[in-house]
Amino acid sequence: MGLFDSIFGKKKKILDPFDMSILKTDVHSHLIPGIDDGAQTLDDSIQLIRELNAMGYSKFITTPHIMSDFYKNTPETILGGLEKVRERIEEEGLKVEIEAAAEYYMDFEFEAKIKEEKLLTFGDNYLLFEVSYFNKPEGFERIVFDLQTAGYKPMLAHVERYPFWYGDWEKYERFKELGVYFQLNIMSLGGHYGGQTKKVAEELIDKGMIDLIGSDLHNMNHIESMKKAICEEYLHKIASSENLLNYKL
């Protein structure tokens, strides 16, 4: 290590863009137009899909929000929108696959949905869910148990983005003991959500806790952040892991 590195720390590595065709599948995005805060038109959807395809992705499992107060989507609205995107993909001659699940928000209606509805999942019955960024969720372990009892495999979306758990490694380990899968946003590794989120994302990778990586793509600004992130050392590290579920979807 040189004098500069010894004083200021290890020099950051910027690598060539990782070839995402190795992963093949992106899980967690907002590509169905007009139903949440992601793509707003079919043209938006196709533009985003083209950009991801240029990075190497050939399959997408897109996950619109389902939130009681904001995005009152249902399996019907999501799957209906999916068919429109598929039709447009075929018209454009794009050689990609697209499926849909959902990103469920752990709110006051979520527990009822678990008991009353057939929820949208992907792969081996994985169910993507998120919690508030501002308040620790109440009843987290109970809801995880309810999901598992109903036959779902709970996957916590962008696990690195919840500041109230930062530094609480016993909490992350507890979730893993409960059987919760962890999804990480690729953009976190490029600093899109801030330096602290980037640091937590890297530590989760170092500890071998990440099961799935995804774009969480909403718009073209996110494309620019993705292009930055796929050159990061930690993206290369996690994307090269054969333990990632992306390879199996």
What are the tens digits of pLDDT across the range 36-73? Answer: 999 999 999 999 999 999 999 999 999 999 999 889 99
Q: What is the per-residue pLDDT across 17-31, written as a single tens digit (0 to 9) for each?
A: 999 999 999 999 999
What pLDDT is stored for residue 3 in this prediction?
Answer: 39
- Would you say residue 212 lies in a domain? yes
Query: What is the pLDDT at residue 12?
Result: 64
> Assign residue 139 a region: left if phi > 0, alpha if psi is -120 to 50, beta otherwise?
left
Residue 42 within any structural domain of the chain: yes
Q: pLDDT at residue 6 above 80?
A: no
Q: Tokens 């199996």 — which residue?
A: 248
Q: Is residue 15 part of a domain?
A: no
Read off the pLDDT of each residue in 164-174 and give the average, rounded to a whole number.
96
In this prediction, residues 63-88 reach a mean pLDDT of 96
* pLDDT tens column, 223-248: 999 999 999 999 999 999 989 999 99
Based on the number of CB atoms within 10 Å of its own CB, is 215 exposed (0-12), middle (13-18) or buried (19 or more)?
buried
Structural domain includes residue 192: yes
d(C-alpha 249, C-alpha 74), whole Å: 23
- What is the band of 11 on the pLDDT scale with cuts at 50, 70, 90? low
Of residues 117 and 123, more confidence is placed in 123
Whole-angstrom distance between the N-terminal and C-terminal Cα of the chain? 41
pLDDT value of position 49: 98
Domain that holds residue 223: 20-248
In a domain, 231, yes or no: yes
- Quick check: is 25 in a domain? yes
What pLDDT is recorded for position 205?
Answer: 98
- Residue pLDDT, tens place only, 195-208: 999 999 999 999 99
Percent of the chain with pLDDT over 70: 95
Average pLDDT over residues 86-99: 98
pLDDT at 8: 44
Q: Rounded CA gap, 59 and 53, in Å?
A: 8
Residue 81 has what pLDDT? 98
The length of the chain is: 249
What is the CATH number for 99?
Answer: 3.20.20.140
Position 127 pLDDT exceeds 60: yes
Percent of the chain with pLDDT over 90: 91
3-state class of 247 per DSSP? Answer: helix
Q: Give the pLDDT of residue 200.
A: 98
Report yes or no: 105 and 68 within 8 Å, Cβ to Cβ: yes
DSSP string for 70-120: S----HHHHHHHHHHHHHHHHHHT---EEEE--EEE-STTHHHHHHHS---
C-beta separation of 33 from 41 below 8 A: yes
Give pLDDT, residue 242.
Answer: 87
Evaluate whether residue 14 is within a structural domain: no
Q: How many domains does the chain have?
A: 1
Question: pTM higher than 0.85 for the full model?
Answer: yes
Higher pLDDT, 145 or 242: 145
